[in-house]
Structure 1
Amino acid sequence: MALEYENILKDLFEKDEFVRFLDSICKTTRLAAKIVDTKASSVWEYSRRHTFEKKHVFPVCYEEKTIGELWLSHEAGKIRKTRIVDQTAQVILSILEMEIYREYELNSLSEEILEKYEEVNLLYDISESLGAIFELGLIYEILLDEIVRALNVEKASILSYDKGNKRLVLEASRGLPEEVVKIVVPVQNTISGYVLQRGEPLLVDDVKNLPNDVQLNENGQYSGSQFISVPMICSPVKVKNEKIGIINVTDKKNGRPFSTNDLKLLNTISSIAAISIYNARLIEELKGTDRVKHELEIAETIQKSLLPSRPPVATGLDIYGACKTAKNVGGDYFDYFKNEEGLVDIIIADVSGHSIGSALMMAIFRSVLRSVFQQKNSVSDILYQTNKLLFPDLDNAGLFISAFLGQYNPQTRWFTYGNAGHPPLLVYKAATRTIIELDAEGMIIGILDQVDFEEKNIRLDVGDIVVFYTDGIIEAVNPFKEQFGQGRLAEIIKIFYKESAEEIVKHLYNQLDIFVQRNEQEDDVTVIVVKIVQ
């Protein structure tokens, strides 16, 4: 079994998306990393030309079996043990354990299904048939035809869950009397209700084996026998924790009892059907109304009002920022703060996703950040406190936030900064007409509840330009699947360095539009340009 887990570990790193995700963690934490198998052979490495002569070693385990090792090393080659090493190891090992579990379960299920290739073809046909259909009535009819054919049964029915009235309503059936139309089944004391509430499929081979929650009549018979009969199989139709309905199947044509394989097949069909039914319901709700669109437009207006309408007035600074969302609402955020001492704080952040949830989390992030700013903390303390306060909400929502915070002192021209897993800043140095990166060690907000953030500083000169941006600009692609990239961003800054901050931002957006051509914007794009003018 350990060898099987080890092979799954190796297979994980054949997936480019998974490798890029781990690479991004190492890039964020500025650590070199390597995973080896039990024979010390390399499985994956993010080293930036490191030799790992000095390293921290963590065992990679699954089901109490060691299947490899994780090596971590500071890019400077030092053996010093820092909190970021332990935190990074904890994150990577947790991700590996979760992915190995998912792959193992998927492989086990795949092997079981592949033993019956006819079932695989059936599931494929159902997926193909339902893929482009959004009419509920037609979906029900296709499902019942396929279920009756696949399981060789006389009777089958689909019931939808009426959440408001807490009952099940018959939507479509095969083999039932014509007078059975829109029959209502209570959730309490019925087989269908029992399966709906538990969320697990059920095989009943004898009335004596009914669950305790199911009520029998005075003759010891199931009270719903005029509608369905025993033996039977029943499967819930659900999307995650959303209860959609029930599929019941009874009376095999050959008279044989139902098997556990029949139950598994019905449950798989139900899982496929759930997505189609769920999507069809959503579309039905949207048909003939502009209510949702109108509400999104209102949400967009509210979200834009949370962004600064104008930059702060600060001696020697020319600042301009802009945000262009991929949809009506998004997860990008930027802001400026000027305190009583004249220090100017500049923040840019990116909440994962592009949904209403991301927009709501952005609003929460803004509120928390403004509260923390009032405490007059250092850059590292601001990021630390913000992460600590937001972690519970982000963890529950399954979201995270990358952010870059900079603090400028107009009197000394010192710029202090910290990074929470965000793309590094670009700085145009007027004296040498070159572009440099500003980065600092720090993890994305919302991964762990306790995270330390490195604080750095640099002295800026007149003519220098600091550019904050989200990954939406550098990861934008053209019709040839080429990314805009940091290099193009740097070249545009060098070309238009004489312009004002606002004009530079406008040139950046214009050049981005030219590059992507007609490609749809996939991510929010936010840019802040800070120019030192005196």
Structure 2
Amino acid sequence: MMTSDVNVITSSLPLFNRLRTLVPECTWRRLDPRHCHGKIPETPLLLVDAGDFLHSEGRSLISDPPGPSVVLLARSREKDSIPQAVMAAARQVITLPLSRQELLNLISSVSDEHSPVSGRMTSGVVITDSLSSENETEQLRNDLREKCRELSRVRKDLQRKNQELSTIHKVGEIVKTTFVLEELSRMIVELVTSVMACSRCSILVIDDREGDLLIKGAKGLSITLEENARIRTRGAITMRILETGEHLMVNDIEAQMGLAIDRNKGYHSGSFISYPIKVRGEIIGIINVADKLDSQPFNAKDLKLLETLTSQVGLTLENFRMSQELLDKERIQKELEIAWDIQTNLLQKQGIRNSRFGLWVYNRPAREMGGDFYNFSWNEGNRLDLFLADVSGKGIPAALVMVMLRSYLKISRFSFADCGGLLTYLNDLLLEDISDEMFVTAFSASLDLETMTLRFANGGHLYPLLFRNGSVFELMARGHILGMFENIDYEESEIVLKSGDTVVFYTDGINEAMDAGHNEFGKANLVNCVAGCLESIVQSGGDVDGDFIIGEVCSVVDQFTTGMDQSDDQTLLVLNIP
């Protein structure tokens, strides 16, 4: 049986024992890599653990290239990391694990080339000959102590992470418990002071309307600076954070910033952290913490924890704001629906049909509330009064003016029969009550059912269309829009209606309806549509049906504006004399 000396440079005791077990016939010696100072021992065969060779704090264990007697033992993942020059200079690079036969072949090949060497080494190399059980046990103890210390560090890191996650969860849960920003901020402040182990905390939120900072939550501040206090004068710290967008951690405010500790406000230390609260990169506020309970200055771990908290606080405040906006929108939508119902009830939904005349009405607002208004009355059975108006603009402002018009008409001292006087009266009232940007167009008419004379006055409104015996005429009367000019008189015109006449009153939401190419529906299309309806009625021998005419007009307009939102309120009144 062959014998040989084999030296192994490795920090891995299991690897050394494994090699020694494979070929116990040899004399095995383990070299501690921590005590090798860059020199290779002179030996027929030296096995070097490539892991130690490559990864000992980034430095090579061997300063000179390995000699012919050096064999590198490399794990498969380490082979690609060995420099080519080292691989070329080494006798061989063997991939672990080794079998007994492979190891025997290696030792035999070296033994054939060299006589046994006693293991003489150059200065600076310490060889631990056949490590004693005592040394091995001590090494295991040291390794175990290091593992315990590492586990302790890991445990502390996990505890810190768990605390952060728990805090983030608590901040996220807070928003579900309240619908009041001040209460939400107070709850966040309580949580922050608890987690940061400090006695002072404040949350400042930027007022979108005026740009001032508002104290929305505070703990430990003086009474005069409690919640909702408006900070109009910004201090050096606040200005710095708002200008740079960066946090500020100070251990000693006197030494670092040259500012005295304000003990009149109860501050006990000069250490604090101010952190900007950001949402999508924009600063929406600042969170401040001061006076740690242990009187120590804030450190990097405190800063990291506050960074995590601030990020979650920003998301929480933004979610709260969005929730409030959604609730506000829902409330406004509900109020608009109620207002729309009220406004709808103000407009007469059913016309009048009898043997002397037929009147049909239709209104469709562009939004929840509109500015078109109409009113009619059949007074004493001998007169039909009509009023149609269109308020500039849309939505709530236009609807409010519409309601004003209705109120004016209710209390008017003028008879509807005095069409021009009524428009003058309304113009004077609107001049006083509506803004300069708004105006009203209106058409007032009164039909004497005995003589069938229709008297009318126009305040800048579209001319009604009279359809008679296949021809179309406009009921023209001059007059300015209402609510813009003072001292305006409105002229009156009149026409005698005949059997078979049909008059269509409308607002500009009909003729100005636009298609996808921004082309207007136009008066001509309206005339053609109504004329076509009347022609088909005549051919069928039936009576004029205003609902049929209105339905056809709306259908044609809707088809014309396919893919477009309704841009204005649409109103149609159809008057027919049988």
Greater Rg, structure 1 or structure 2?
Answer: 2
Higher relative contact order (CA 8 A, sep 6+): 1
TM interval, shorter chain, is 0.3 to 0.5
- The two structures have a TM-score, normalised by structure 1, of 0.48
- The two structures have a TM-score, normalised by structure 2, of 0.44
